Structure 1
Amino acid sequence: MTLLARPTLWRTVGALMLREMSTTHGRVPGGYLWAVAEPLAGIALLSAIFAIGFHAPALGLSFPLFYATGLLPFLAFSDITGKLAQALNFSRPLFAYPAVGVFDAILARFLLAVLTQLAVASLLLGGILFLSETRATPDLAILAQAAGLLAVLSLGMGAMNCLLIGLAPLWQRIWSIAMRPMFLASGVFFTFEQVPLPWRDLLWWNPLIHVVGLVRRGLYPGYDAAYASPTYLMALGLGVALLAGIGLGRWHRDILSDL
């Protein structure tokens, strides 16, 4: 019987999601709504601050919209991979129960993080489009494609981080250091086409630049982001997820014994 066909899977995953929601924000007035409100307010504030200094975005008329289309994918990727990296540690006390498995914990954290980030992105982009003159034309099919590919990529990288941190805790610091320049290398403040050669060819291998390109393709009429490759994102995300799944299946007992 496959993992997804297990009769108790979704009941277990649902219970784990509810546990995390109550654990992280259950004692705060407003509850889990703060998981959406906090990043939403932070991104909105940063967008307003940067809009003061940058009046002419590379695309469209609104700098807050241009900035948000780059920042949202980066922050969503960072949040989801970070949550998955700590999935085993977060749910460790529950693995004593036969109904709770390693992949249940990863799937629960993944789904909750994805739904939270979708809520943040929808509210922020919807607010910018409603409150300001952007001349953007949202293409929901392309935006859904970008969100789906970002979720697959985040699942693969997050699961791999979970495995590597469990086997070598130093990896957490290495990953944290590596993610810092990614903020600048993911096209938050510029478009891929503005980068001169040969740096553009190197930048192409950054998967987040592809996601940002797809998001902007879905919002800005006439911007085709020809460089963005859904095939590359899908292959990378699924490939890394497969390797991580094999590794977790093989070494999860060793990892849990060391936590």
Structure 2
Amino acid sequence: MALQPTIVEDRSFGRALKIQLGVLGALMMRDLHTRYGRRNVGFIWLFVEPALLGVFVAGMRVLRESMVPGGLNIIGFAVIGYVVFYAFRSIVSRAPSAAEQNEPLLWHARVTLEDVMIARTLLETGAVTMATIVFLIGIGIYFGDWPTSWVQMGIGIIMMALLGHGVALIVLALTRFGVSVVERIVHPVLYISIVFTGVFYMVWWMPYQFQRITLMLPIIHIFEFIREGQFGPGQPYHYDLGYVWIWIILLNVYGGFALRRAKPHLEV
């Protein structure tokens, strides 16, 4: 009687990593079609919305005959600030629907809610990074204002995405109390937060007594860091990267634990 050959399953780290990357890639492609349409026409809005906003802000400044303190390019300041905030806003605002929209996929053993959230964060980060590069090139060609450090701006976008990812995990965990309830709270809060998150101002523009209060928000530090990479050392900047990374780590760790405990109660 012939012996059957023994098949040894490859359980190496490389094999597991390859499978995980395949899962994330598939989730990103699915989300890409859901987010921007199969022809990716919706992706154009990622460029149109910040451009319109930049023109509007610049127009208001011209009508009021006022300039941005420090002589900064108003269009570059407003457009890039809003595009970067767009990453944070999109990652967080789409979190409440993550479980519902991906319910069929969650029956697969290899797909988890954590995978869904990571894929969404990667997609939003990639889209915003592309939009930022396009706008920076356009601003550089038209106005002659080129970034001082592309790398620093890229690191800032990554930190913004990681901060948003941590908040998104917590938001998704909170949907155990009802998706519609969380959505009604999250969306208005995100739109209101644009006023005080540093999208349209720098810390040194504010009275000194308010600067310390403002710097309690880690997102302010990220914007200051990004703008240093954009405009160079000619302006005073206020940021502490150690403080930012503490927030990023705490939010992601707490969000991960909160999501794990909330999974049995999520509406799927």
TM-score (norm 1): 0.87
2:47 alignment partner in structure 1: 40
1:60–1:107 distance in 2 versus 1, CA, 3 Å: same
Quick check: 1:63 aligned with 2:74?
yes
**How far off is 1:168 after superposition?**
4.7
Q: Would the aligned equivalents of 1:84 and 1:159 in 2 still touch at CA under 8 Å?
A: yes
Cα distance per residue 1:103-161 (max 9 Å; x no partner):
11111111111111111111112211211243x44212311221121121111111111
Question: Considering only CA atoms, is the larger Rg found in Structure 1 or Structure 2?
Answer: 2
Q: Distance in 1 between matches of 2:91 and 2:30?
A: 17
Mapped pair 1:163 → 2:173: yes
Q: How does 1:23-172 map to 2 (within 5 A)?
A: 23-27=34-38, 31-32=39-40, 34-55=41-62, 56-134=67-145, 136-169=146-179, 170-172=181-183
The Cα of 1:174 is off from its aligned counterpart by 2.6
- Of 235-244 and 46-55, deviating more is 46-55
The residue number in structure 2 matching 1:220 is 231
Give the C-alpha shift of residue 175 in structure 1.
2.6
Distance apart, 1:193 and its partner CA: 0.8
Where in structure 2 are there 5+ consecutive unaligned residues?
1-10
Percent of aligned positions with the same letter in both sequences? 21
- Aligned equivalents of 1:50, 1:209: Cα separation in 2: 20
Give the conservation status (yes or no) of the 8 Å contact 1:36–1:120.
no
Is this contact kept in 1: 2:28–2:119, CA < 8 A?
yes
Relative distance call for 1:37 and 1:150 in structure 2 (3 A) is same
Q: Which amino acid aligns with 1:236?
A: W
Distance in 2 separating the partners of 1:143 and 1:116: 15
Partners of 1:51 and 1:146 in 2: CA distance? 24
1:207-245 deviation per Cα after TM superposition (whole angstroms, max 9, x unaligned): 221121111100212246542121122111121111111
Across the aligned residues of Structure 1 and Structure 2, the Cα RMSD in angstroms comes to: 2.3
The worse-fitting range, judged by mean Cα deviation, of 60-69 and 120-129 is 60-69
- The equivalent of 2:6 in structure 1 is none
Matched with 1:246 is 257
Is 1:207 matched up with 2:214? no
2:221 alignment partner, SS class: helix
Change over 3 Å in CA distance of 1:223–1:165 after alignment to 2: farther
Q: Is the Cα contact below 8 Å between 1:69 and 1:212 reproduced in 2?
A: no
Secondary structure at the residue paired with 1:57? coil
**CA distance 1:67–1:107, shift in 2 (3 Å):** same
Give the Cα separation in 1 of the matches to 2:17 and 2:149: 36
**CA 1:171–1:120: 2 relative to 1, 3 Å:** same
Residue type matched to 1:68 in 2? V
Distance change >3 Å, CA 183–CA 133, structure 1 → 2:
same
Task: State the distance in 2 between where 1:127 and 1:166 align.
Answer: 44
Contact kept? 1:36, 1:119, Cα under 8 Å: no
- Mean CA deviation greater in 174-183 or 13-22: 174-183
Give the letter for the 1:184 counterpart: V
Alignment TM-score, normalising by the size of structure 2: 0.84
**Structure 1 alignment gaps of length 5 or more:** none
Distance in 2, matches of 1:166 and 1:117, equals 30
